[in-house]
Chain A
Amino acid sequence: MDLAQDVQLEMFRAMLLSRRLDERAWVLHRQGKIAFHISGIGHEAAQVGAVFAIRRGYDWVSPYYRDLAILLAVGMTPAEFVMGMMGKRGDPTSGGRQMPSHWSLKRANVISHSAPVATQSPHATGIGLAIKLRGDDRVVLTTVGEGATSQGEWYEAVNFAAVLQVPVVFVVQNNMYAISETPDMQMAIKSVAEKACGLGVPGISVDGTDVFAVYRACQEAVDRARQGGGPSLIEARTYRMTPHSSDDDDRTYRSREEVEEHKKSDPVLVAKRQLEERAILTEKAYAEMDAQIKAEVEEAVRQAEQAPYPEAEEALHPVYAEEIRLAEASHA
């Protein structure tokens, strides 16, 4: 592994923070403190591997709703996340306008996305085009689920990116489900990566439970993009370890045995084993890290619970850019 030990540890910590925060969100939901949660559990390796391959805060990100680990890794604080969950004014994605996990983090170049799947893919292409027109050396990381690759929006985005040769890395987090539908109901091919050849971009499929495998694949794609080599498609194969969302009951379409089986390749455990084998992490150091993260998560929940809701009238603005200052003034 060519990655420095402290970077490997940092990646692991990013995965664990995302996991603990995500677990806490499920608890908040059961406690009736939040109305909705859509989880990234099982996706941490795919997300951390991808986001560590870009220059965080410098490169641009066009994410999708499961990307909690990506958002944390580019600097969203746990308290900000929980404020979003609770619809508090301090929600950095939308000031409480959007449902939870519909990301945006302007200060880290993470654009705002919506709920209709794959709508953010063409935006990544457009950002890539702007980067190319301006002669900048940034790249764009964009993500979707495998179900979303059935959308015309996704195909048009990748095709435009390929034709215009813009610096975009399209990462598909294939978690084997789109709510209840399995990949064979989405596509007549075995792997999402096969779609790449019809679009004229390099496409590879990696084990999305191995954070370092995802990192290597994304690093190569990011380097190529930054050097003017155009877009790439990366499929990270993983498993959605939770129901689709807090409104879903996955017992209606998949067996408990299947879910249990996949827990053996839980990406957090896989990474922990890798670091232990490489003598980078001890059980003791892990326990310390975990305790520290859990305390951080509790503090975030405490802060978010105390944070104010928006005033009802804030819903009036800002419909147009001219109103942005109005909206800010009403906060003050």
Chain B
Amino acid sequence: MPEMTLIEAIRQGMDEELERDKDVFIIGEDVGKRGGVFRATMGLFEKYGPQRVIDSPLAELGIVGTGIGAALYGMRPICEIQFADFIYPAFNQIVNEAAKMCYRSNGDWTVPMTIRAPYGGGIGGGLYHSQSVEASFTHIPGLKVVVPSNPRDAKGLLKSAVRDPNPVLYFEPKKGYRLIKGEVPEGEYTVPIGPAQVSRPGKDLSVFAYGMMHYYTLQAAEKVAAEGIDAEVVDLRTLYPVDRETILASVRKTGKALIVHEDNLTGGYGAEVAATIAEWGFQDLDAPVRRLAAPDVPGVPFSHPMQDWFMPNPDKIAAAIRDLASF
């Protein structure tokens, strides 16, 4: 199996979907000749032309709103939001329009659309090029929210998102674009939207994470393994709808749960996982559910010492694992 970076896998996924289905097209800022500011669409404009890879005006609600219209007509748009931080101008279109279309029309109209957005900090991006925005959308019935953590899933989930008959938000851990490498199967495959995955089986405690934090959690799990702590790591992958079964099965096995995300703590996705465990897994617990998340400040500060203070990392995760394991 060939090894590739996260961003190469995402690009290959888009390339194959453009090739497979004439209704698929990409629309976003600088996605054409520039190939995207992160180069996610590099080479696609040259290969498929300006009708399939469309440089849009600088207006996110226009990108998403236009995507919705095209999807209503039967196309399969992939809308690129340059940074997740800039998704908020499109919030109304995503929450009031895309998410509610199927329900409000009693199934007459659906929005098969993918919205890709690079998210996350640790890249010196400051408050407005670092945000984790998933919790603003995992509250919204009608949306699917996906966050890949490795190249194999990134490609497979991207293909599933494009083929899904619903609006799918696909958040890409931008710090991992070139840092995260992994094997990607040759030939056609998809990874289903919905199921979480146990990425490292263990017996002492369960750590739930996704995206960049899942990558760090695997590193942390290796560290503590050397100290005799056997952590099970669960890659949530699809945040909405929630895979409650996989979460609860893991807690049933280990009796302890830690949730890690780089979004800030309060009202973050970890709260939903914790509530799931409290409501349906209470008898399985041997310790309180713990959350490791970014502090409740409005954003990721720019200056390095402050940014490092903000971001969870393998050391902080390892410390949280040790702490919970010793409960």
Do A and B come from the same complex?
yes
Residues of chain A touching chain B, judged by Cβ–Cβ distance below 8 Å, are 60, 62, 93-95, 97-98, 102, 104, 106, 111-112, 114, 116, 119, 121-131, 133-134, 152-153, 156-157, 159-160, 163-164, 317-324, 327-328
Contacts A153-B65, A319-B103, A321-B102 hold; do A119 and B109 have CB atoms under 8 A apart? Answer: no
Interface assignment of B324: CB less than 8 Å from any CB of chain A: no
Contact B65 A123, beta carbon cutoff 8 Å: yes
Interface assignment of B51: CB less than 8 Å from any CB of chain A: yes
Contact B66 A112, beta carbon cutoff 8 Å: no
Q: Which residues of B25-82 have CB atoms within 8 Å of chain A's CB atoms?
A: 25, 51, 54, 56-57, 59, 61-62, 64-75, 77
Interface assignment of B101: CB less than 8 Å from any CB of chain A: yes
Contacts A106-B108, A131-B73, A324-B102 hold; do A119 and B56 have CB atoms under 8 A apart? Answer: no
Contact B69 A321, beta carbon cutoff 8 Å: no
Contact B66 A125, beta carbon cutoff 8 Å: yes
A contact residues around B51 at 8 Å (CB): 133
A contact residues around B109 at 8 Å (CB): 104, 106, 111-112
B contact residues around A116 at 8 Å (CB): 92, 96
> When chains A and B are docked, how far (Å) is the Cα of A104 from the Cα of B104?
9
- Among B61, B67, B89, B103, max chain A CB count under 10 A is at B103
B contact residues around A111 at 8 Å (CB): 69, 72, 109
Interface assignment of B326: CB less than 8 Å from any CB of chain A: no
Known: A122-B93, A156-B59. 18 other contacts (CB 8 A): A98-B104, A104-B109, A111-B109, A112-B101, A122-B65, A123-B68, A126-B72, A126-B77, A129-B70, A130-B75, A134-B73, A153-B65, A156-B62, A159-B57, A318-B106, A318-B107, A320-B102, A324-B110
Q: Which of B59, B74, B107, B110 contacts A160 (CB 8 A)?
A: B59
B contact residues around A60 at 8 Å (CB): 73
Of all chain B residues, which has the CB nearest A91? Answer: B106
Contact B61 A122, beta carbon cutoff 8 Å: yes
B106-117 to A contact mask, C-beta < 8 Å, 1/0? 111110100000
Smallest beta-carbon distance B60→chain A, Å: 9
Smallest beta-carbon distance A152→chain B, Å: 7
> When chains A and B are docked, how far (Å) is the Cα of A159 from the Cα of B144?
29
Of all chain B residues, which has the CB nearest A331? Answer: B106
B contact residues around A98 at 8 Å (CB): 104
Contacts A123-B72, A157-B62 hold; do A327 and B105 have CB atoms under 8 A apart? Answer: no
Of all chain B residues, which has the CB nearest A62? Answer: B69
A contact residues around B89 at 8 Å (CB): 152
Smallest beta-carbon distance B164→chain A, Å: 8
Q: Which of B25, B62, B70, B112 contacts A159 (CB 8 A)?
A: B62
> When chains A and B are docked, how far (Å) is the Cα of A160 from the Cα of B29?
12
Contact A160 B104, beta carbon cutoff 8 Å: no
Contact B102 A156, beta carbon cutoff 8 Å: no
B158-186 to A contact mask, C-beta < 8 Å, 1/0? 00000001100000000000000000000
How many inter-chain contacts with C-beta < 8 Å in the A-B complex? Answer: 144
Contact B74 A122, beta carbon cutoff 8 Å: no
Contacts A160-B62, A324-B102 hold; do A130 and B70 have CB atoms under 8 A apart? Answer: yes
> When chains A and B are docked, how far (Å) is the Cα of A94 from the Cα of B165?
19
Interface assignment of B100: CB less than 8 Å from any CB of chain A: yes
Contacts A123-B65, A319-B141 hold; do A159 and B59 have CB atoms under 8 A apart? Answer: yes
Contact B69 A104, beta carbon cutoff 8 Å: no
Chain B interface extent, by class:
35 or more
Of all chain B residues, which has the CB nearest A93? Answer: B105
> When chains A and B are docked, how far (Å) is the Cα of A328 from the Cα of B102?
13
B contact residues around A127 at 8 Å (CB): 69-70, 72-73
- Among B54, B56, B70, max chain A CB count under 10 A is at B70
A-B contact pairs, 21 of them (CB 8 A): A97-B106, A104-B105, A106-B105, A106-B109, A112-B108, A112-B109, A119-B97, A122-B61, A126-B68, A126-B73, A128-B69, A129-B66, A133-B51, A153-B93, A157-B65, A157-B66, A160-B66, A164-B54, A320-B144, A323-B107, A324-B107
> When chains A and B are docked, how far (Å) is the Cα of A327 from the Cα of B144?
19
Of all chain A residues, which has the CB nearest B99? Answer: A319
Contact A129 B69, beta carbon cutoff 8 Å: yes
Q: Which of A122, A159, A327 contacts B106 (CB 8 A)?
A: A327
Smallest beta-carbon distance A140→chain B, Å: 8
Q: Which of A126, A152, A319 contacts B66 (CB 8 A)?
A: A126
> When chains A and B are docked, how far (Å) is the Cα of A160 from the Cα of B25?
16
A contact residues around B71 at 8 Å (CB): 126
Contact B65 A97, beta carbon cutoff 8 Å: no
B contact residues around A97 at 8 Å (CB): 103-104, 106
Q: Which of A124, A134, A159, A324 contacts B69 (CB 8 A)?
A: A124
B contact residues around A322 at 8 Å (CB): 165-166
Interface assignment of B142: CB less than 8 Å from any CB of chain A: yes
Contact A119 B65, beta carbon cutoff 8 Å: yes
B contact residues around A125 at 8 Å (CB): 62, 65-66, 69
Smallest beta-carbon distance B314→chain A, Å: 36
Contact A321 B73, beta carbon cutoff 8 Å: no
Contact B65 A156, beta carbon cutoff 8 Å: yes
Contact A319 B65, beta carbon cutoff 8 Å: no
> When chains A and B are docked, how far (Å) is the Cα of A93 from the Cα of B166?
19
> When chains A and B are docked, how far (Å) is the Cα of A163 from the Cα of B77?
18
